[in-house]
Amino acid sequence: MSTTTYETILVTQDGAIATITINRPDKLNALSPVVIRELTAAVVALRGVEGPSAVRALVLTGAGDKAFVAGADIAAMQQMTAPEAYAFSAAGHRLGYELEMSPFPVIAAVNGFALGGGCELVLACDLAYAADHARFGQPEVNLGVIPGFGGTQRLTRRIGPARARELVFTGDLIGADEAKRVGLVNDVVPRAELLAKATEVAQKIAKKGPLAIAAAKRVMQRGADLELTAAHELEAQAFGVLFGSQDQKEGMSAFLAKRPATFGGR
């Protein structure tokens, strides 16, 4: 296992599974400009790893058991000018983009409060699992602002416009079970089992064809905003391209031979 330490985050890699832990438990893992910059740099670095050490799934979590990310760092935001606030928002949007564009699935292990920027970070992940004490919300209107890291857009796409508007307009928080009911998270588990659950799912994904996983993620994301016929064409093109890969040949040969496939990402 390898470990890389930044100022505000920890990055570990065990085989094909990487884990990023936001490491500011005394600040409830709040997203400061430094945290956002380091998270973005870490995701870009993991995307750049190729060959046998390539990452096939990423788990994102927070240090401690109180908060995943309790929000953006209000102390850091309080004195921002309008141009500085715009730059801060743009940096958060870039982080979300890097997570969404990563070829590997990103799994949020929500170990407590996921509020404001924390909820938006969950929304930028492909899958999310929550500890039973986790709480979610977009309470920015209580501060006289709106979600700035994609919440007004991704929350609507994740849980539907009516419920998203209610959460954004009221600033109300919801518990883990309600988050599962509305589709914000995939499942809820006891807090002691959270990281094991997220890692188990990551390991299952890591055994699949990485080119196929990357293509499926890309097509599902891009196709969501296309007209259905165009989205189907996008899928057909990606399906066809995969038949030129070694992974496709290995996967189908293994199936016919009734043996586990060994994918190389080629």
Token readout for 178 is: 């309600």
- 134's tokens: 């986790």
**140, 166, 227, 233: which one is catalytic?**
140
Tell me the per-residue pLDDT of 78-119, one tens digit each, with 9 for 90 and over. Answer: 899 999 999 999 999 999 999 999 999 999 999 999 999 999
> Which residue in the block uniquely carries the two structure tokens 């988050």?
179
Q: Are residues 247 and 217 in the same domain?
A: yes
**Whether residues 130 and 215 fall in one domain:** no
Tens of pLDDT, residue by residue over 19-51, are 999 999 999 999 999 999 999 999 999 998 888
Supply the CATH number for residue 249's domain. Answer: 1.10.12.10
Question: What gap in Å lies between CA 3 and CA 197, rounded to an integer?
Answer: 21
* Predicted confidence (pLDDT) per residue in 208-253, tens digit: 999 999 999 999 999 999 999 999 999 999 999 999 999 999 999 9
Q: How many domains does the chain have?
A: 2
pTM summary value? 0.94
Q: Identify the pLDDT of residue 69.
A: 96
What span, in angstroms and rounded, lies between the C-alpha atoms of 84 and 236?
A: 43
Q: Which two tokens stand for residue 237?
A: 């093109």
Residue 9 to residue 60: CA distance in whole angstroms: 10
- CB 98, CB 58: distance < 8 Å: no
Question: Which among 206, 223, 244 is the end of a domain?
Answer: 206
Has 120 been annotated as catalytic?
yes
Same domain for 129 and 22 = yes
Q: Classify residue 162 by burial, with Cβ atoms within 10 Å: 0-12, 13-18, 19+.
A: exposed
Residue 50: give the domain boundaries.
Answer: 2-206
The predicted pLDDT at position 74 comes to: 86
Q: Find the catalytic residue in 84, 120, 178, 227.
A: 120
Examine the domain organization and report whether 201 and 221 are in the same domain. Answer: no
Q: Specify the CATH number for the domain of residue 177.
A: 3.90.226.10
Instruction: Tell me what pLDDT residue 4 has.
Output: 78
Whether residue 242 is found in the same domain as residue 134: no
The answer to the question of residue 131 being in a domain is yes
